[in-house]
Amino acid sequence: MTIARTDPIDDRAEPRDEVHFRSSVVLADQRRLPALVVNLSPSGLMIRCDAPVAAGEWIWIRLPAIGDVRVAVRWALGGRIGCLMERPIPANRYHAVLGAMAG
């Protein structure tokens, strides 16, 4: 018997690095709001933000060392937003992004 996963947080293609980075998001209506990046992988991230978004929407998130990145909202629940990047962070840039978040 196969049990379907219902927890969107555990439905990831790759592990995430835990971070704590203050950033901002740009919504479809061009409003920029503060956001906190709490985890990151080359192809996705989770943020905390009070943005009124729904699964399927596209937003922009500002990341250090690479700038604004377009992401698809996969899920949003209680101020937490799980996102999939339109284009993964290149392997040769990923550690620079993580390093800039730490410093």
Give tens-digit pLDDT for 34-79.
Answer: 999 999 999 999 999 998 999 999 999 999 999 999 999 999 999 9
Q: How confident is the model at residue 14 (pLDDT cuts 50, 70, 90)?
A: confident
pLDDT of 10 strictly over 90: no
13-102 under CATH 2.40.10.220, yes or no: yes
The mean pLDDT value for 12-16 works out to 76
> Taking a C-beta distance cutoff of 8 angstroms, is the pair 40, 94 a contact?
no
Model pTM score: 0.84
* Distance separating alpha carbons of residues 74 and 47, to the nearest angstrom: 12
Residue with tokens 């503060």: 34
